[in-house]
């Protein structure tokens, strides 16, 4: 009999614990030619906002050590164009697609969630790493603010909801608890960590912004620590571990820490078909457990 990698995440059953992380596989529709989506249990589309966001100018991606710093600025066409351009193609993809909502106010998040729901996505991930309009603090750093966004999205859609948190939160457990109390079905741990890189000759940032989001292998201990802390405090909470996965042993580590599913992100830039390799490795490790 074959090894079964089926897993559950709150109300959702996934055929595989591997998830394509938001922003690293484009709109999914445009990546379908290069990426084989069959090894994934779900693929998360790039975050969408209520109005179009132009993103930041180049340079937007800089390798730093074995990780990567990005300042993409969540460039996206806005929910109205997204539902027209991307939505109709989702049903043809060989993977369940989750939408990802981002915004500057809870109302914006709610508008996006309603739009995503109309396209037939199977779940909505709430990207809480962007700044709120009032004081520029990322939602994910403040339990109350994060809960307010999740509650607004919960009222706008009946779809399963994941709240994506930041490793930069002073108390990630408090943010996790607030999101679950407000109606999130699972937590995604984590988005990128805030970082910076300068040109030593000029002292100027090597990105078009002073800071960016750090991802890849150096992020893994931070995200894994968040999974461990949240799982210890809230053992019933369904968790997705994301950060620095390059092989099946990283996936196993997240599963051992308490995650039910695991995201692949930056690895897609070096190896677009990494999920096929990791899925194969995982089957081997799983059967030898």
Ligand X SMILES: Cc1cc2nc3c(=O)[nH]c(=O)nc-3n(C[C@H](O)[C@H](O)[C@H](O)COP(=O)(O)O)c2cc1C
Catalytic residues: 130
Query: Which residues form the interface with ligand X (CB under 6 A)?
Result: 21-24, 46-47, 68, 70, 72, 74, 100, 127, 164, 191-192, 215-216, 219, 242-245, 264-266
Q: Nearest Cα to 86, choosing from 25, 29, 37? A: 29
Element (H or E) spanning 215, and its range?
Answer: strand 212-215
Name which of 115 and 244 has its Cβ closer to ligand X.
244
Question: What minimum distance in Å lies between the beta carbon of 57 and ligand X?
Answer: 15
Name which of 138 and 244 has its Cβ closer to ligand X.
244
Cα–Cα–Cα angle for 26, 8, 262, rounded to 5 degrees: 45
Question: What minimum distance in Å lies between the beta carbon of 143 and ligand X?
Answer: 19
Residue 14: left (phi > 0), alpha (psi -120 to 50), or beta? beta
Element (H or E) spanning 99, and its range?
Answer: strand 97-101
Handedness of CA 225, 146, 82, 193 (dihedral sign): negative
- Give the residue closest to ligand X by C-beta: 23
Is the separation of the CB atoms in 240 and 230 below 8 Å?
A: no
Name which of 75 and 117 has its Cβ closer to ligand X.
75
Question: What minimum distance in Å lies between the beta carbon of 60 and ligand X?
Answer: 8
Question: What minimum distance in Å lies between the beta carbon of 232 and ligand X?
Answer: 22
Residue 216: left (phi > 0), alpha (psi -120 to 50), or beta? left
Name which of 47 and 132 has its Cβ closer to ligand X.
47
Name which of 7 and 49 has its Cβ closer to ligand X.
49
Main-chain dihedrals φ then ψ at residue 16, nearest 5 degrees: -150, 150
Question: What minimum distance in Å lies between the beta carbon of 96 and ligand X?
Answer: 17
Q: How far apart are CA 239 and CA 259, in angstroms?
A: 5
């Amino acid at each position: 009999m074959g090894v079964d990698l089926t897993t559950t995440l709150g109300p959702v059953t996934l055929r595989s614990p591997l998830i394509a992380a938001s922003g690293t596989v484009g709109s999914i529709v445009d990546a379908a030619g290069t990426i084989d989506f069959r090894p994934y249990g779900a693929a998360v589309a790039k975050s969408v906002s209520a109005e179009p966001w132009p993103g930041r100018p180049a340079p937007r991606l800089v390798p730093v050590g074995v990780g990567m710093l990005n300042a993409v600025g969540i460039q996206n066409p806005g929910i109205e164009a997204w539902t027209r351009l991307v939505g109709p193609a989702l049903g043809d993809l060989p993977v369940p697609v989750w939408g990802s909502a981002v915004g500057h106010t809870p109302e914006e998040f709610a508008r996006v969630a309603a739009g995503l729901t109309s396209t037939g996505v199977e779940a909505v991930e709430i990207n809480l790493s962007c700044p709120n309009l009032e004081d520029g603090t990322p939602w994910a750093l403040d339990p109350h603010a994060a809960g307010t966004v999740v509650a607004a999205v919960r009222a706008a859609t009946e779809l399963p909801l994941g709240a994506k948190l930041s490793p930069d939160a002073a108390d990630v457990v408090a943010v996790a608890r607030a999101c679950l109390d407000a109606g999130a079905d699972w937590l995604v741990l984590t988005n990128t960590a805030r970082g910076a890189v300068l040109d030593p000759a000029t002292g100027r940032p090597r990105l078009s912004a002073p800071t960016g989001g750090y991802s890849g292998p150096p992020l893994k201990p931070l995200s894994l620590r968040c999974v461990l802390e949240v799982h210890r405090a809230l053992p019933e909470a369904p968790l997705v571990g994301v950060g620095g996965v390059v092989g099946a042993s990283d996936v196993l580590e997240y599963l051992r820490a308490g995650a039910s599913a695991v995201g692949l992100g930056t690895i897609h830039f070096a190896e677009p078909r990494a999920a096929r390799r990791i899925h194969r490795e995982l089957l081997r490790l799983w059967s030898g457990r």
